[in-house]
Amino acid sequence: NTIDIFDTSKYENGELMSDKDKDIFTSDDLNMKVNFQMDLFGVKYNNWRVSTEMISFADLHLLDKQFSEIVFYGNELDKIYCTDAGAGSVAYGFIRNRIEYGIPKEFTLGMLHSAVDDYLSKSKWGIFVNSMPIYLGANINFDYSVAMAKVISGEQRFGSLSDYSFYDYQIKAKYTDLDSNGKLDFSYGLATQIDVLENCSVHFILDDLFSKLSYEDLAGVSYKATFIDSLDYLDEDYEAFDESTQNDSIRYSTSEIDIKPGIIFGVEYYPVEKLQLQMKIDNRRYSLDKGFSFAVGYKIAKFIPIKLILGTNDGSFKSEFQTGLNFDYFDFDLAFSNNSGLFNSAKGIGFRTGVKIKF
């Protein structure tokens, strides 16, 4: 069950919220993930490929589940609550220049050693495995960090005690500004393709080895706020205590974001010439196609491909429709995607388009 963000306006017009709606709002923390990628340049020649892309990713922790429960169901007296306030939220962007190379010569397992070749030749299954052509490739990534922001710590404490109520809020964050500098870092990747059958292949890619993003001379901010309201209303001169302090002169010399190695595993099968079946697992942190997916593609005309993709990603269900125009010297790609919750309340949309000139 989900609630569209655009439907929440109905509560502003006097409609009462049902218990079912409250359960949706309080079922989990309110988080948001944003991913933006743009391919800026790409050239392929023989077994070499050079490309440039811009990647941005944000993982935002907006609201703690406990805070939502208190908003809808109230708080207990003489109890102090402590919830997160955005701690761990991070957003970053970088430009990646990638050089890829695929070894043109195919390999077989028997080429590893004569003993392996002799062992595989003893059975029909071994002969079949040894006949599979294996293709290898590698890539090096030149990653230039552009911008980042991170909430180092964030907390809110509040409660209604016997003689007063209070609310404390504090947050500490760092971010890049005009005085910050990005750095150039390197990462690596390996790729393998095995042609199991003439019309079926298996792909395995290990990317982002030793990947990190480095930033220098970052700005920082620290903010604290306190509100105390005494329950002694007999004092006519009483005023609630409300104080806040902010320090925006903090500087951080360096900061790094580690990107864990990503794995892509896929199987591609063509039962007939125009029909394509795909299965893929992608666990790259910033990937648009992260998760497990199954795809069916078909060419309804020589130059008009269509593809339907169904998959899961972080507990949500994803459906995507792709189409475009494919000519000898020009490709145009267009895709729309929709996400909805499987085990939680989640909504998301996606849009992708691209132009490729082939020469």
pLDDT by residue, tens only, the chain of 359 residues: 444 554 566 666 777 777 777 777 777 787 888 888 888 888 888 899 999 999 999 998 888 888 888 888 888 888 888 888 888 899 999 999 999 999 988 888 877 777 777 777 888 787 878 888 999 999 999 999 999 999 999 998 988 888 888 899 999 999 999 989 989 999 999 999 999 888 999 999 999 999 999 999 999 999 999 998 876 656 666 777 888 899 988 999 989 998 889 999 999 999 988 899 999 999 887 776 778 899 999 988 888 899 999 988 766 788 889 898 888 888 888 888 887 765 455 567 777 887 877 76
Indicate the DSSP class of residue 23: H
Decide: residue 143, CB within 10 A, 0-12 exposed, 13-18 middle, 19+ buried.
buried
Please tell me the predicted confidence (pLDDT) of residue 160: 87
Q: What pLDDT, on the 0 to 100 scale, is given for residue 206?
A: 94
* Nearest residue to 20 via CA among 5, 3, 45, 39: 3
Q: Find the distance separating the first CA and the last CA of the chain, reported in whole Å.
A: 49
68 backbone dihedrals φ, ψ, rounded to 5° = -65, -40
How crowded is the C-beta side of 142, counted as CA atoms within 13 Å?
Answer: 8
Task: Please give the pLDDT value at position 1.
Answer: 42
How far from 128 is each of 109, 135, 186, CA to CA, in Å? 11, 17, 39
Helix ranges (DSSP H) in 74-213? 114-120, 124-130
CA distance linking residue 297 with residue 320, whole number of Å: 12
For 65, 135, 311, 317, the CA distances from 296, given in Å and listed in that order, are 38, 25, 12, 17
What sign does the dihedral 138-143-149-150 (CA atoms) show?
positive
Distance CA 43, CA 135 (A): 21
E strand intervals along 64-199:
80-84, 90-102, 134-160, 164-175, 181-182, 184-197
CA 171 to CA 105: how far, in whole Å?
Answer: 56
Q: Are the C-beta atoms of residues 18 and 39 closer than 8 Å to each other? A: no
Amino acid at 24: I
pTM, two decimal places: 0.76
Q: Where are the alpha helices (DSSP H) in 204-290?
A: none
Continuous H helices in 161-243: none
What type of residue is 133? P
Q: Quick check: helix, strand or coil at residue 75?
A: coil
Tokens of 1: 């069950």
**Number of CB atoms found within 10 A of residue 83's CB:** 19
136 within 8 A of 162, measured Cβ to Cβ: no
Q: Which of 321, 293, 285, 289 is nearest to 305 (CA)?
A: 321
Helix (H, G, I), strand (E, B) or coil at 138: strand
Taking a C-beta distance cutoff of 8 angstroms, is the pair 304, 320 a contact?
no
Contacts of 73 (CB under 8 A, 6+ apart): 22, 26
Number of H helices, E strands in the chain: 5, 18
* Secondary structure element (H or E) that encloses residue 20, with its range: helix 19-25
HSE of 282, CA atoms in CB hemisphere, 13 A: 15
Count how many Cα atoms sit within 13 Å of the Cα of residue 211 in the half-sphere of its side chain. Answer: 24
Looking at residue 93, what is its pLDDT?
93
Query: H or E segment at 349?
Result: strand 347-357
Place of tokens 């049902």: 18
